[in-house]
Amino acid sequence: MIAATAFAVVDIVLNGKTILPHARAAVHGGRLLLPVRDLGRVLGAEVRYDARDGRVVVRRYARTAALRAREIVVDRGRAYAPLRTVAAALGFDAAYVARTRTVVLARRVEPRTQRPAATVAAAAAPTPGSGAAAAPASARDAIVTPPRSAQVNEPYPAVSARFAGSGGIDPRSVRVLVDGRDVSADAAIVGDEILYTPRAALAPGTHAVTVSALASNGTPLAASWEFADTFAFAPPPPPAPPPVRAMYVDRYVVPGTNAFDVVVLGVPGMTGFVAVDGVPGIAPLVVTGANSYVAHVVVPPGVAQPFAHVGARLTLPDGSIRVITLPQTIGLFTASASPPAHATPTSVPRAIPPGRRSMAVPTPTVTPTPVPRRALARPRPSPSPSP
């Protein structure tokens, strides 16, 4: 049995006046369900939810009705109740006109009052379970949407087949094929109409639909037709490549010196320069390839910059300016320039003027003075005592 929940747009009419246009109604288990709160709002009824037993209580004037939890379908925080159940709770009779997808409401007549000959049910199409005899409907009598050989421009067109006068449709016998694919599980039944809305966008082109079912009295029902869908999702244009793809520091180009390179990858035709904190001046960009540029930065002696930022100012081919600063910092430390060493004075022999003879100055000889020997101390005899 088909128990999927589908949604349809209906107009709710009271006394010939549309009170709720384009209402979002649910179709579940072959029954049409109306939004309880929206309908109660336009009819001046109070609708509240009883959390103790999961019921929806509807109060309008002196009439109070409670909708049981098993009769309610909740979708995205909104409660839907069967058409006649919610209409009776509000004190109205209701009928559904499938041809125009309209819900017709009329004030309920008390049982002691004779009902008028022209009732709402007479204006509506026969509904399932009414027991009225109906002539079988053939494929020629089916009213299909989109019409046969029609051209639509919708990605999710509403597909339906209405078998007028069928007296109701057996839900267990419904079969819907779209382009040979069985989509019966996503179909819904409202009265004598079978509805289907694609869950995925249909591809552009011609689509074949086949609907088959059995009426309540066992009469076979069938309809086959084709329609064309011209809707096509335009693919987005490919994203334009960014003018500057990358920028990084290459610190190993000139090892052993106080210099490094900043590489910029981007579109051809760029110009600009690179500046670094703590380094005076700027380093111009030099083209090294079709899409690559290099700026050579020389760090002078005596720089101590632990958190130096590297930035580039680029002029794109269209004349716009782009300023880029690397998020990471670099450390720059160079030794101070040592002062020049002082020259040690050396003696230069004095040149002798010509015509002057040199005089030989005798060098005095130094004779060493002998060191006098010290006399050894001799022991003196001690005096002997006299006798």
Same domain (yes/no): 86, 42: yes
Percent of residues, the chain, with pLDDT higher than 70: 75
Label each residue of 238-293 as H, E or C.
CCCCCCEEEEEEECCCCCCCCEEEEEEEECCCCEEEEEECCCCCCEECEECCCCEE
Stronger pLDDT, 250 or 1, i.e. the higher one:
250
Residue 203's domain comprises 139-229
Same domain (yes/no): 223, 262: no
Q: Which two tokens stand for residue 338?
A: 């040592």
Round the average pLDDT of the chain to a whole number and report it. Answer: 77
Same domain (yes/no): 25, 49: yes
Residue range 129-167, pLDDT digits in tens: 444 344 444 444 688 888 888 898 888 888 989 888 777
Same domain (yes/no): 32, 119: yes
pLDDT at 257 (0 to 100):
67
pLDDT at 2 (0 to 100):
41
Q: Which two tokens stand for residue 374?
A: 């010290």
Same domain (yes/no): 26, 115: yes
Domain closes at, from 333, 352, 381:
333
pLDDT tier for residue 379 given thresholds of 50, 70 and 90: low
Q: What CATH number does the domain containing 291 carry?
A: 2.60.40.10
**Assigned domain for 128 exists:** no
pTM of the model: 0.36
CB 107 within 8 A of CB 119: no
Given a cut of 50, whether residue 127 has pLDDT beyond it is no
The answer to which of 55-69, 83-97, 348-362 has the lowest mean pLDDT is: 348-362
**Assigned domain for 338 exists:** no
Domain count for the chain, please give it.
3
**Assigned domain for 382 exists:** no
pLDDT tier for residue 47 given thresholds of 50, 70 and 90: confident
What count of other Cβ atoms lies within 10 Å of the Cβ of residue 329?
A: 14
Same domain (yes/no): 222, 249: no
Residue range 252-306, pLDDT digits in tens: 544 556 888 999 999 999 999 999 998 888 999 999 988 899 999 988 888 888 8
Same domain (yes/no): 102, 47: yes
CB 99 within 8 A of CB 162: yes
pLDDT at 223 (0 to 100):
92
**Assigned domain for 133 exists:** no
Residue range 303-331, pLDDT digits in tens: 888 889 999 999 999 999 999 999 988 88
pLDDT at 384 (0 to 100):
58
Same domain (yes/no): 76, 145: no
**Assigned domain for 256 exists:** yes
**Assigned domain for 304 exists:** yes
Nearest to residue 297, comparing CAs of 249, 333, 331? 249
Domain closes at, from 94, 123, 152:
123
Same domain (yes/no): 80, 114: yes
pLDDT tier for residue 119 given thresholds of 50, 70 and 90: very low
Same domain (yes/no): 210, 249: no
Same domain (yes/no): 187, 211: yes
Domain closes at, from 173, 206, 229:
229
Percent of residues, the chain, with pLDDT higher than 90: 20
CB 271 within 8 A of CB 250: no
CB 125 within 8 A of CB 191: yes
pLDDT at 139 (0 to 100):
46
Q: Which two tokens stand for residue 98?
A: 């499938």
Q: What CATH number does the domain containing 184 carry?
A: 2.60.40.1220
Given a cut of 50, whether residue 57 has pLDDT beyond it is yes
pLDDT at 84 (0 to 100):
80
pLDDT at 368 (0 to 100):
63
Nearest to residue 27, comparing CAs of 258, 192, 189? 189
Residue range 204-244, pLDDT digits in tens: 999 999 999 998 888 899 999 999 999 888 777 888 888 89
**Assigned domain for 380 exists:** no
Strongest mean pLDDT among 22-26, 154-158, 189-193, 291-295:
291-295
Same domain (yes/no): 92, 150: no
**Assigned domain for 73 exists:** yes
Distances 31 to 4, 68, 73 between C-alpha atoms, Å: 11, 16, 11
